[in-house]
Amino acid sequence: MLPATEEKEQQTNPSDIPDDWFKPKQKDTSEAESVVRPSLSYWEDAWHRLRKNKMAMGGLVFLILLGFMAIFGPMLSPHTVGETTLSNQNKPPSSDHWFGTDKLGRDVFTRTWFGARISLFVGIMAALIDFFIGVAYGGIAGYKGGRTDSVMMRIIEILYGLPYLLVVILLLVVMGPSLATIIVALTVTGWVGMARIVRGQVLQLKNYEFVLASQSFGAKTKRIIQKNLLPNTMGPIIVQMTLTVPTAIFAEAFLSFLGLGIQSPYASWGVMANDSLGVILSGHWWRLFFPAFFISATMFAFNVLGDGLQDALDPKLRR
């Protein structure tokens, strides 16, 4: 929209340009304010990515259903966990006993969901206790650094060298088999993995400026660890917790299978599998099938969920 071109050549001096040549451009506020992509927090973004992972979501749905059945399953059945009916031994699944009965005439359906309670309880408790000890230990070791760190790491190295299932078995022999003993025994050495992960993360994070800023405001160590360092470590911590659960469930089943776990009349999947070792020859497949299926499916679900979370919570994979 310039005036005639021949005029332009003569008027080379910028100060000669008349003001009315300039027109203020209309500022388009509507365009500037519109956001192309929704702004997502770390957790929203992780959730979006997790939702796209079909395997992980399948695992999550399975675990929610399992948790629901662990709570309400035993109530749905008219039979109780320890109820023995000797006239009803080794009956295949029927309308009365949905999963059949075992060698003492106990209802496998009720026992399976009771086993789910035990397994989930052991798994979640182990993960929670690991979380509290591991995070505190790893956080302090990583943040303090120096001598404190090397002493704390030597202790971890020694604990890490202890064969974990042997220690658990030893403790169970001494303390007697019970649910509490299993959980204590599992966490005695179990928190070491968590502590290592947290320490490694904290070691990296503590050199960032926001920690320095916090320090210059006079924040105490406890506050810095709690408010600055740990929230940034939550991704790896959650993944580690999700992967601790199947390990603990396996350990409980393994110990129960060896006769060191939950005692009769209560049921855990390991106990049920151990009880039904003889069914291979007798053909009472349902006694082994249901506990075996649910141990495997639960561990599978936790493993795929853990894998999915690992991808979803990894900030490097964020797009």
Partner 1 sequence: MVKYITKRLVLMILTIFIIASLTFFLMHAIPGSPFNEERGTNETVQANLEEHYHLDEPLLVQYFIYMKSVVTFDFGPSIKQPTETVNDLLGRGFPISAELGIISIVVAVISGIILGVFAALRHNGIIDYMAMAFAVLGISIPNFVLATLLIQKFAVDWDVLPAATWSSPMHMILPTIALATGPMAIIARLTRSSMIETLTQDYIKTAHAKGLKPWKIVIKHALKNALMPVVTIMGTLLAGVLTGTFVIEKIFAIPGMGKYFVESINQRDYPVIMGTTVFYSAFLIGMLFLVDIAYGLLDPRIKLHKEGGE
Residues forming the site for partner 1 (CB under 8 A): 154, 157-158, 161-167, 169-171, 173-174, 203, 246, 250, 253-254, 257-260, 273, 277, 280-281, 285, 288, 292, 295-297, 299-300, 303-304, 307
CA distances from 79 to 67, 108, 174, 265, 271 (A): 20, 10, 34, 13, 19
Q: What minimum distance in Å lies between the beta carbon of 303 and partner 1?
A: 6
Which residue, chain included where needed, has tokens 């025994």? 185
Indicate the residue among 125 and 288 with the shorter CB distance to partner 1.
288
Least Å distance, CB 39 to partner 1, is 30
Q: Nearer to partner 1 by C-beta: 88 or 291?
A: 291
Whole-number minimum distance, CB 31 to partner 1, in Å? 39
The residue among 99 and 257 lying less far from partner 1, judged by its C-beta, is 257
**Minimum gap (Å) between residue 135 Cβ and partner 1:** 20
Output the smallest distance, CB 259 to partner 1, in A.
6
> For partner 1, which is the closer residue by CB, 79 or 211?
211
- Nearer CB in complex with partner 1: 54/227: 54
